[in-house]
């Protein structure tokens, strides 16, 4: 049996004395796409940063490729998992290509510079998100949606096995939201990568994510196949808003009642 890329064992996540997630046990394997949904403040970002090894859990364990983060070290961990944060910070002037090439840093030696092969990987990643021919553009001149796609391209340039994405659909129009999720679908099939995606659109989660994790913000959680977890009953409880499920042929979708 293939070992999971990511696993949690009785994981507790708390902040400011408040338990957001209690006793979380999940496994994410190559080829999986897991959506994380919940209200604002329910702990989605805090959990994602814990899964990325950037903050210690309040209890339990997080394992990356069958080992705790401490057993990997920062460089090896960065080769295995990548994180797209909600906000992209650009402290210094840089071109689009230079920014995408940051993703190659875990694969370079201490004093090594990016070579032709690294540049080719970055250019291919930019093309994958629709930013081809913008390599020399100054990053500060990009729109919000273009900057978000550049963040995704930088992660693709990093080439991890596990992608942890915090609201990657923010700032994207509908066409680019679909394109990003289709890209994730292609990577799970072709590269046997795994995606954990914090998102708010329950219908896109149902359509594109094989599994779903609901965070209720009080320690409770629910995880399983999206077809089972994403129901009108569960989503109404999750958001404190009555949700209706509608059927269109063989497709299901949800609306606020």
pLDDT tens, residue by residue, 14-72: 999 899 999 999 999 999 999 999 999 999 999 999 999 999 999 999 999 999 999 99
Residues 140, 96: Cα–Cα separation, whole Å: 9
Residue 78 lies in a domain: no
Mean pLDDT of the chain: 95
Q: In which region does residue 51 sit, left (phi positive, over 0), alpha (psi from -120 to 50) or beta (all else)? A: alpha
| Exposed / middle / buried, residue 88 (Cβ in 10 Å: 0-12, 13-18, 19+) | middle
Using one digit for the tens of pLDDT, what is the confidence trace for 164-211?
Answer: 999 999 999 999 999 999 999 999 999 999 999 999 999 999 999 999
Rounded mean pLDDT, 243-254: 92
Instruction: With respect to residue 86, please indicate whether it lies within any of the assigned structural domains.
Output: no
Q: pLDDT category, 3, cuts 50, 70, 90?
A: confident
Percent of the chain whose pLDDT exceeds 90: 89
pLDDT at 1 over 80: no
pLDDT for residue 198:
98
For residue 130, pLDDT beyond 70:
yes
Strand order from edge to edge, sheet including 67-68: 18-28, 6-15, 59-64, 67-68
Other Cβ atoms less than 10 A from the Cβ of 105: the count is 14
Is 100 found in the same domain as 48? Answer: no
Asked whether the predicted pLDDT for residue 226 surpasses 90, the reply is: yes
Which of 16-20, 92-96, 112-116 is the least confident region?
Answer: 112-116
In this structure, is residue 239 part of a structural domain? yes
* 53 and 131 fall within a common domain: no
Q: What is the CATH number for 194? A: 3.40.50.300
Question: What is the Cα–Cα distance from 176 to 202, expressed in whole angstroms?
Answer: 17
C-alpha 65, offset from chain centre: 17
Helices 174-190 and 144-158 cross at an angle (nearest 10°) of 10
Considering 136, 160, 184, which residue would you say is the last residue of a domain?
Answer: 160
* pLDDT value of position 113: 85
Give the pLDDT band of residue 245 (cuts 50, 70, 90). Answer: very high
Q: Give the Cβ contact number of residue 224 at 10 Å.
A: 13
As a whole-number percent, the residues of the chain with pLDDT over 70 amount to: 100
Confidence of residue 236 (pLDDT cuts 50, 70, 90): very high
Q: Indicate the residue among 102, 134, 160 that finishes a domain.
A: 160
Domain boundary among 110, 127, 160: 160
Cα separation, 135 vs 189, whole angstroms:
28
- Domain total of the chain: 2
- Domain co-membership, 129 together with 16: no
One domain, residues 166 and 250: yes
∠ at Cα 244 (242, 249), nearest 5°?
170
Q: Reply yes or no on whether the pLDDT at 88 is more than 90.
A: no
Beta bridge partners of 14: 19
Check residue 89 and give its pLDDT.
Answer: 80
Same domain, 51 and 105: no
Q: Any bridge partners for residue 147, and if so which?
A: none
Q: How confident is the model at residue 114 (pLDDT cuts 50, 70, 90)?
A: confident
Do 252 and 169 have their domain in common? yes
Q: Clarify whether residues 175 and 214 are in a common domain.
A: yes
Does the residue 72 lie in any domain? no
* 193 shares a domain with 123: no
Range of the domain at 24: 6-65+161-256
**171 and 128 in one domain?**
no
């Amino acid at each position: 049996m293939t070992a999971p890329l990511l696993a949690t064992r009785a994981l507790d996540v708390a902040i400011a004395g408040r338990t957001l997630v209690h006793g979380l046990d999940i496994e994410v394997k190559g080829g999986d796409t897991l959506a994380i949904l919940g209200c604002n403040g329910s702990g989605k970002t805090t959990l994602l940063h814990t899964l990325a090894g950037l903050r210690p859990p309040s209890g339990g364990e997080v394992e990356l490729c069958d080992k705790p983060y401490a057993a990997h070290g920062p460089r090896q961990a960065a080769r295995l998992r990548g994180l797209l944060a909600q906000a992209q910070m650009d402290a210094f002037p840089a071109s689009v290509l230079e920014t995408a090439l940051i993703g190659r840093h875990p694969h370079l030696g201490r004093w090594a510079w990016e070579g032709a092969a690294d540049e080719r990987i970055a250019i291919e990643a930019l093309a994958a998100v629709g930013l081809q021919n913008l390599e020399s553009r100054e990053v500060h001149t990009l729109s919000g949606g273009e900057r978000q796609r550049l963040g995704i391209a930088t992660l693709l340039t990093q080439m991890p096995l596990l992608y942890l994405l915090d609201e990657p659909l923010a700032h994207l129009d509908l066409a680019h939201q679909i394109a990003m999720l289709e890209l994730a679908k292609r990577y799970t099939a072709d590269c046997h990568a795994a995606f954990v995606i914090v998102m708010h659109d329950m219908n896109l989660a149902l359509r594109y994510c094989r599994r779903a994790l609901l965070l209720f913000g009080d320690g409770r959680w629910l995880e399983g196949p999206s077809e089972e977890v994403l129901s009108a009953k569960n989503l109404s409880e999750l958001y404190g808003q009555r949700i209706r499920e509608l059927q269109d042929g063989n497709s299901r979708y949800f609306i606020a009642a």
